[in-house]
Structures are given as structure tokens and as C-alpha cells.
């Protein structure tokens, strides 16, 4: 019992070892908050070797919604499906100027008008495991199973958010978050994963920056 409690405390303490760097360059922040209208947060998916994770986009959207109930965040999948095929990896606009061309398609312009979109925020980046070391041996015998050893690995996140003011047709800011952390897995009979919340920290960092920009409450 005492050992279990000790492990839980150790897990909680060691699980928070993440470093984060945030950077921001924004213009024309809405002083009184963004008011009426909605925003959409979209992941970039045109790189050959990675996609920005949908759950990371959901995480940022949730963070912004929880931070200011007045900001209406359109879920990414719903937005992409409702405007198919104009936000697929092949067709997604890479600059705000491309959106102007998209608005020349009447049905697309109508749909975007219905959504009352104020800001479109693009997130580009990923989280990946880097170095790993250690070894662990697991065995199964007639009396039971167990593992012994120690493993550790690093995780890095790097994301950049680009904010487009949809009403004005201009790019109004870029924000970035780089986080990294080391996870550990000691095993004495039972492996105990001590996971560094690298992606969660990146989500929180980027979400906070977006909230500061968009919300009058921050």
C-alpha cells in the first residue's frame, strides 16, 4: 500500500518535467474581444511525412472555448466536411490571398457567410519521440509474469499558429510553441510509465496565447 502511494507521488512529480518556449508576433488584436462570430482552428496536412494531429487541434479548440465561453469554435472535422473539397490537403489555401480566390465560388462564399467566420487559425507542427535508451526484460512463468529494467525516451513538440482575420482578409499574427520533455519507465515486476505531458503543455501554451489575442477576458 505504502509502495503504491509512493509510486503515485513519484509519477505525479516526475510527470511534469517539460520545458516550453513560446513566441508570438501579432497585429490588430481585437481590444474588446472578438465579439460575435466564430473561429475555426485547422491543422496543416500537406507535408509528406507528417500531419498535424487532429486531437491536438481539438485540444486547442477546447482550451479556447473553456477560456472564453463567448468564443464560438467550429470543430475542425465539421468545418472541413461542410466545405468539402476546399480544405482538403490538396486544396486548402496556403495564404489568405488564396481564400479571396475561393470566395469567388458562390456556394463557398455562401457557406462561409452562414458560418459567420471571424478568424481562421492554422496550426502546423507535430509531436514526435526522439532519443530513447534503456532496456527492459519481461517474462512469463508458471507462477506469474513480470518485467525488470528501465527505459527512457524524449519527446518534442513544435507547433506554429497562423491567424487570419477573415473579415479584413489579412494575416494578423503568428505564434509558436516548442516543448520538450523526458519520459521514464522503471519496471520492478510492474512497469510504471512516467510520461512527460509534452503535447498537452504545447496545447496549453498555444491555447493561452490564442486566448490572450482573441478574448477580452484575458
Binding site for other proteins (CB under 8 A): 49-51, 53-54, 81-86, 88-91, 105-108, 111, 127-128, 140-145
State which residue, 43 or 186, has the beta carbon closest to other proteins. 43
- Rounded to whole angstroms, how far apart are CA atoms 92 and 162? 14
Least separation in angstroms between residue 108's CB and other proteins is: 6
- Rounded to whole angstroms, how far apart are CA atoms 56 and 130? 19
Least separation in angstroms between residue 155's CB and other proteins is: 11
State which residue, 2 or 90, has the beta carbon closest to other proteins. 90
- Rounded to whole angstroms, how far apart are CA atoms 7 and 194? 10
Least separation in angstroms between residue 116's CB and other proteins is: 16
Least separation in angstroms between residue 82's CB and other proteins is: 7
Q: Which residue, 58, 52, 183, 186, is CA-closest to 129? A: 183
Q: Tell me if 170 sits within 8 A of 137, measured CB to CB.
A: no
Task: Say which residue the cell 507521488 belongs to.
Answer: 9
State which residue, 53 or 68, has the beta carbon closest to other proteins. 53
Q: Which residue, 117, 124, 114, is CA-closest to 42? A: 124
State which residue, 28 or 128, has the beta carbon closest to other proteins. 128
Amino acid at each position: 500500500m505504502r509502495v503504491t502511494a509512493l509510486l503515485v507521488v513519484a509519477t505525479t512529480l516526475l510527470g511534469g518535467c517539460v520545458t516550453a518556449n513560446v513566441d508570438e508576433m501579432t497585429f490588430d488584436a481585437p481590444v474588446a474581444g472578438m465579439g460575435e462570430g466564430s473561429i475555426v482552428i485547422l491543422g496543416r496536412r500537406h507535408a509528406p511525412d507528417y500531419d498535424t494531429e487532429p486531437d491536438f487541434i481539438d485540444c486547442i479548440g477546447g482550451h479556447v472555448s473553456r477560456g472564453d465561453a463567448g468564443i464560438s469554435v467550429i470543430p475542425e472535422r465539421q468545418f472541413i466536411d461542410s466545405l468539402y473539397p476546399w480544405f482538403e490537403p490538396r486544396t486548402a489555401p496556403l495564404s489568405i490571398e488564396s481564400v479571396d480566390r475561393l470566395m469567388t465560388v458562390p456556394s463557398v462564399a455562401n457557406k462561409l457567410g452562414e458560418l459567420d467566420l471571424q478568424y481562421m487559425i492554422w496550426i502546423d507542427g507535430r509531436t514526435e519521440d526522439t532519443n530513447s535508451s534503456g532496456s527492459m526484460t519481461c517474462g512469463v512463468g508458471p507462477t506469474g509474469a513480470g518485467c525488470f529494467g528501465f527505459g527512457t525516451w524524449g519527446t518534442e513538440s513544435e507547433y506554429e499558429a497562423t491567424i487570419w482575420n477573415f473579415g479584413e482578409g489579412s494575416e494578423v499574427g503568428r505564434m509558436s510553441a516548442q516543448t520538450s520533455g523526458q519520459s521514464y519507465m522503471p519496471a520492478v515486476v510492474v512497469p510504471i510509465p512516467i510520461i512527460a505531458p509534452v503535447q498537452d503543455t504545447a496545447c496549453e501554451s498555444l491555447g493561452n496565447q490564442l486566448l490572450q489575442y482573441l478574448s477580452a477576458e484575458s
